[in-house]
Amino acid sequence: MEFFTLHDFMTFTKGVTYLIMGGILIFMPLYWLYLTDRDD
């Protein structure tokens, strides 16, 4: 992806980063459930 302005760069990187953050927010609680579901 080529960028010509800082605005382009920020829009692209922030957009991707927010998607990743959303993914992590969903994944981490599920991972915690996976880690603890066999606890007594």
Q: Where along the sequence are the contacts to another protein (CB under 8 A)?
A: 1, 9, 12-14, 16-17, 20-21, 24, 27-28, 31-32, 34-38
- In the bound state with another protein, the residue whose beta carbon lies nearer, of 7 and 37, is 37
Tell me the C-alpha distance between 37 and 17, whole Å: 30
- In the bound state with another protein, the residue whose beta carbon lies nearer, of 4 and 13, is 13
Amino acid sitting at position 23: G
Minimal distance in Å, beta carbon 12 to another protein? 7
Q: Locate 32 and state its tokens.
A: 């915690």
β strands within the chain, DSSP E: none
